[in-house]
Structure 1
Amino acid sequence: MISELKIVTGLRAGATWLKESYWTRPFKLADIGAYRTDKALCLMLMSASPGMLDGDDYRIHITVSAGSRLQLQTQAYQRLYHMEHGACQHMQVEVHQGASFSYIPHPVVPHAGASFEGHNRIFLEAGSRLIWGEIVTCGRKLCGEVFQFRLFHNITELYYQGKLIVKDNLLLQPERIKLAGPGQLEGFTHQATLIYADTRADAPPMADVLLDLLAGEEEIAYGVSQAAGPAIVLRILGNGAEQLFGCMRRMEKVLWQERVITDAMTN
């Protein structure tokens, strides 16, 4: 089943509003920012489906207009059920001049026999910011389904002013690759990826700030890399979805208002 979601933001008197929205089953949108002092738009992506089923084709298009700020959250863990043929998702995000977009979804849980392919394409303009996250688990760990899915393949491409600056190609195929072995997940079962890009001329360095936030976490491994352009990529390995999701949300909170944080650190 083809399912579509479209979001377009607008800016009015310094506040971001939902200028245009369109969705088909099973998607729904809810505005959860009514009691926030932040003038950004905060939306929750909801689904009437328990997860992605065989043959599902999700198509998502988000436009964050110039000067606006959008946080998109998810309702629950994204489950990928047993499939004969597979499911796919294509997501395109446009972050216009001076705009900010943050998306830290709940972890993905691929069930035994699941097959998923995704492709994310993100386009940034001058003065824009991006906070983008992904958490992939080994499956239903407590049910004994550790790396029993068939395929998880997700490609994320980040463009700045038309030039590709980050390409993250995550391929997990347990039948062909020993995911827990050396050179892969090194004994861990869960993986999180955070991509942060700040294209403003006075953008403060944030890599060390993020590493300091993770320093107190136990039983994880992590590292950060500087991309070719104005972006950093941080990877975390762990054994618990809630722990990694908590780490990602804490980093999101800092990055979303990093101006205040870095000013406080330098005073």
Structure 2
Amino acid sequence: MVCSLNITVAQRKGNSYLKDAYVTQPFRIVPVGQYKRDNAAYLMIMSSSPGLLDKDDHQIKINLQKHTKLQLQTQAYQRLFQMREGSRQTTEIKMDKGTVFSFVPHPVVPQNASSFVSHNVVEMEKNCHFLLSDIITCGRKLTGELFEYNHFQNLTEIYVEGKLVVKDNVLLQPQIMPINQLGILEGYTHQATLIYVNTAGYAIEDWIERFHEKYSIIKDIAFGISKLSLDGFMIRVLGNGAEILFEMFQAIQNDVWEGIMISHTVQIESKEETNSLI
């Protein structure tokens, strides 16, 4: 079944808000940040379905108009049920100048014989900040179901003013890959990725050093962080539990979000002072 979610976030008197929304079953989109004071839009994607079924095709489009800020959330873990032909999800994110987007979704739980392909396409303009994460589990671990899914793939492509700058492809096929060997999961059961990119010239070296010092010492995980060729970084984590990875990425998101909001406030105040002197 083809399922669509298409939203546009706009700005009014300095506040970001949900301007347009088109959804089909099982999607819903609801505001959840009424008490936030950073003038950003906080939206949650909700679903009446327990997860993705065979032949499901989720098509998501997110459009951020100039100078808007959006933090997107999910309500629960994403479950992938037993399939014959597989399911897919396509997410297109368009970011106009001066926009901020952040999305740390709940982990994905691929069940027995599931097959899933996700493709994220991001188009960024100048002075933008983008953060996206993904956590893939081994399946229903507590019931003893480990790596019984057939295919999981998450492809992310980030374009800046039409030029491809980041391409990340996570592909796991436990039935034909030596999933526990060196270079793949190495005995861990969960894999997580977080990507942050900005086109605003915002220095990220302090973040890289801080996150490495804070998270690389945690026991029972393997944590790595790398600087991208532009202003951004990528984090890879291997672990044995979904909650610790999800909470870690939420904490990283909060640190980055707070830094971005402070930066935006300073820029606005600087512009106002300059305009008052003219």
Shorter chain as normaliser: what TM range? over 0.9
> 1:73 offset after TM fit, Å?
0.2
Measure the CA separation in 1 of the matches of 2:198 and 2:73. Answer: 20
Provide TM-score, normalisation by structure 1: 0.95
Alignment partners' CA distance in 1, 2:29 and 2:222: 35
- CA–CA distance in structure 2, aligned partners of residues 202 and 110 of structure 1: 37
**Corresponding letter in the other structure for 2:7:** I
Note if contact 1:224-1:234 (Cα within 8 Å) is conserved in structure 2: yes
Query: Aligned equivalents of 1:101 and 1:260: distance in 2?
Result: 12
**Could you tell me whether the CA contact under 8 Å between 1:112 and 1:149 is conserved in 2?**
yes
Assess, with a 3 A threshold, how the Cα gap between structure 1 residues 182 and 125 changes in structure 2: closer, same or farther.
same
1:5 aligns to what?
Answer: 5
Change (3 A) 1:260 1:83: closer
- Shift in alpha-carbon separation, 1:38–1:78, aligned structure 2, 3 A: same
- After the TM superposition, list the runs of 4 or more consecutive aligned residues in structure 1 that deviate by more than 3 angstroms: 259-262
Letter in 2 for 1:213: K
Cα gap change, 1:178 to 1:159, in 2 (>3 Å): same
d(CA) in 1 for partners of 2:232, 2:222: 21
Where do 5+ consecutive residues of structure 1 fail to align?
263-267
| Alignment partners' CA distance in 2, 1:201 and 1:75 | 33
Counterpart for residue 49 of structure 2: 49
1:210 maps onto 2:219 in alignment: no
What does the per-residue CA deviation read over 1:50-105, in whole Å, with 9 as the maximum and x for residues that have no partner? 00000100000001111000000000000000001100011100111110000100
In structure 2, distance between residues paired with 1:24 and 1:13: 30
Partner of 1:133: 133
The one-letter code matched in structure 1 to 2:256 is L
Q: In 2, are the aligned partners of 1:213 and 1:251 still within 8 Å (CA)? A: no
Distance 1:202-1:233 versus aligned 2 partners, 3 A rule: closer
Q: 1:231 matched to which residue of 2?
A: 232
Name the CA distance, whole Å, in 2 between partners of 1:62 and 1:202: 24
| Aligned residue number for residue 243 of structure 2 | 242
Deviation at 1:228, TM superposition (A): 2.3
Q: Please list, as runs of the form range in 1=range in 2, the aligned pairs for 1:40-189 lying within 5 A after superposition.
A: 40-189=40-189
Name stretches of at least 5 consecutive residues in structure 2 with no aligned partner.
Answer: 264-278
Structure 1 distance, partners of 2:108, 2:146, is 13
In structure 2, the residue corresponding to 1:88 is in which secondary structure? strand
Please give the secondary structure, in 1, of the residue aligned with 2:214: helix
CA 1:202–1:104 in 2, change beyond 3 Å: closer, same or farther?
A: closer
**What is the Cα-based RMSD across aligned positions, in Å?**
1.4
Residue aligned with 2:51, SS: coil
Helix, strand or coil: the match of 2:155? strand
Which one-letter code corresponds to 2:225 in the other structure?
Answer: V
Which amino acid counterpart does residue 137 of structure 1 have in structure 2? Answer: T
What secondary structure, in the 3-state scheme, does the structure 2 residue paired with 1:210 have?
helix
Q: How many residues end up aligned between the 2 structures? A: 262
Deviation of residue 218 (structure 1)? 2.1
Distance (whole Å) between structure 1 residues aligned to residue 153 and residue 209 of structure 2: 30
Structure 2 length normalisation: TM-score? Answer: 0.91
**Structure 1 stretch 228-237 or stretch 93-102: which is displaced more?**
228-237
Q: Give the counterpart letter for 2:251 in structure 1.
A: R
Give the whole-Å Cα distance in 1 for the aligned partners of 2:218 and 2:12.
41
**Counterpart secondary structure, 2:52:** coil
Q: Which structure's CA Rg is the greater one?
A: 2
- Measured in 1, the distance between the counterparts of 2:216 and 2:150 equals 34
Maintained 8 Å contact 1:221/1:237: yes
For residue 86 of structure 1, what is the amino acid of its counterpart?
G
Q: For the residues of structure 2 that align with 1:179 and 1:213, how far apart are their CA atoms?
A: 28
Aligned counterpart, 1:193: 193
SS in 2 for 1:179: coil
Which structure shows the higher helix fraction?
2
TM-aligned CA deviation for residue 260 of structure 1: 7.2
- AA aligned to 2:240 is N
Q: How far apart are the structure 1 equivalents of 2:218 and 2:183?
A: 22
In the alignment, which residue of structure 2 is the partner of 1:265? none
CA distance in 2, matches of 1:63, 1:260: 20
Deviates more, 1:10-19 or 1:228-237: 228-237
Asked whether 1:32 is paired with 2:67, we answer no
